[in-house]
Amino acid sequence: MIPELNTSNKVVGAKQVKGMLNKDKVKTVYVARDAEGRVVDDIIRTCDQKQVQVIYVESMRKLGEACEIDVNAASAALLK
């Protein structure tokens, strides 16, 4: 698992991750390898531009479990 995501200092979901990236409040982004490109490509590009670390997770199911939610997740972010 990803113990770092067992914190309340995170956001889950593409929309929330994008919002926090735009506010420069993100330390690390997690992206599921099986997420659709149309959902995560913009997040990955923004991370490259802002020099935010991207960590890839095996699947959306595993990322959702790591975030302790009952649904799959394409992306999540640890906040500064």
Q: Provide the residue-wise pLDDT of the chain in tens; the chain has 80 residues.
A: 688 888 889 999 999 999 999 999 999 999 999 999 999 999 999 999 999 999 999 999 999 999 999 999 999 999 99
pLDDT for residue 1: 65
Task: Provide the token pair at 9.
Answer: 């200092």
pLDDT of residue 68: 92
Q: Please, are residues 29 and 53 in contact by the beta-carbon 8 Å criterion? A: yes
pLDDT of residue 6: 84
Report in angstroms the alpha-carbon separations of 33 from 24, 74, 75: 24, 8, 10
Q: Does domain 3-79 match CATH 3.10.20.30? A: no
